[in-house]
Amino acid sequence: MQASDVFWNRIARKYAASPVADPAAYAHTLDRTRSYLNASDQMLEVGCGTGTTALHLADAVAHITATDISSEMTKIAKEKADAAAVKNVTFAVSDTQLRDFADSGFDVVTAFSLLHLLPDIPETLSRVHEVLRPDGLFVSKTVCLAEDNPLIRMAVPVLQWIGKAPYVTFLRPEQLEAKIRAAGFEIVESGEHNKRSRGHFVVARKSG
Ligand SMILES: C[S@@+](CC[C@H](N)C(=O)[O-])C[C@H]1O[C@@H](n2cnc3c(N)ncnc32)[C@H](O)[C@@H]1O
């Protein structure tokens, strides 16, 4: 097990029970994402958590493979899919190396509230690039905390030490966008959907 799946497995049931922090911003993110989806699309969601977003978007595409490093998260996600009788979403345990999906040629890859939790964002972006078809889309929303209250930055290591916070990369939106471009994408839309929680939404097209 990696440190990150231990943390997320431990908090999975609590995470599943927490309400969406900003329902209006979440609805806007779903709407903007949906506007890029086609009924024939094969989609991959990375870091799907308990499957809420995949289950919301399932009717807009042909199939979603939704992955997460945490087996507890994917277990809850499967329970939710069964309860909602959603048949075109497959949940699987995977880290962001995406080893099982190398030649999949997905039309769309999504990652919501994930990239800031990763120690090596360029490596993940390069894996995402690899599993997309030419011209495929990468849709993400990422918490960008670099310009937030410095006390948060000071508190995070303490919270991590007592097991109450995961790994966090402190990003500025423009740094995030530069990393996405450097991985071989062109940005087609970006903006803030959650002003308070700093959720930076980016739609990028595979170009290189
Ligand atoms: C903040 S939650 C977001 C979940 C979901 N995308 C959402 O928007 O509700 C972050 C998720 O990323 C997963 N995660 C963290 N590190 C990961 C990694 N290296 N590979 C894959 N998933 C990871 C966690 O298990 C957790 O479910």
Asked whether 69 lines ligand 1 (CB < 6 A), one says yes
In the structure, what pLDDT confidence band is assigned to residue 152 with cuts at 50, 70 and 90? confident
- Residue 32, pLDDT score: 98
Where do the domains of the chain lie, and which CATH numbers do they carry?
3-206 (3.40.50.150)
- Residue 149, pLDDT score: 79
Residue 84 Cα, ligand 1 centroid: separation in angstroms? 22
CA distance 7 to 193: 27
Residue 69 Cα, ligand 1 centroid: separation in angstroms? 7
- Residue 150, pLDDT score: 80
Residue 114 Cα, ligand 1 centroid: separation in angstroms? 5
Residue 126 Cα, ligand 1 centroid: separation in angstroms? 18
- The residue to which tokens 């289950």 are assigned: 55
Pocket test of ligand 1: the residue of 50, 55, 68 to mutate, having most ligand atoms within 8 Å of its CB, is: 68
Record the pTM. 0.96
CA distance 175 to 166: 21
- In the predicted model, what is the mean pLDDT of residues 87-97? 97
Beta strands at 132-143 and 106-112: parallel, antiparallel or unpaired? parallel
Predicted confidence (pLDDT) per residue in 4-23, tens digit: 788 999 999 999 999 998 99
Pocket test of ligand 1: the residue of 97, 113, 114 to mutate, having most ligand atoms within 8 Å of its CB, is: 114
CA distance 194 to 28: 10
CA distance 95 to 118: 10
Asked whether 73 lines ligand 1 (CB < 6 A), one says yes
Asked whether 112 lines ligand 1 (CB < 6 A), one says yes
- Residue 21, pLDDT score: 87
pLDDT at 45 over 90: yes
The number of beta carbons lying within 10 Å of the beta carbon of residue 35 is 10
Q: How confident is the prediction for the chain on average, in pLDDT? A: 94
- Residue 73, pLDDT score: 97
**Nearest to 153, CA basis, from 137, 135, 169, 132:** 169
- Residue 3, pLDDT score: 62
Per DSSP (E only), the strands in 38-94 are 42-46, 63-68, 89-93
Asked whether 118 lines ligand 1 (CB < 6 A), one says yes
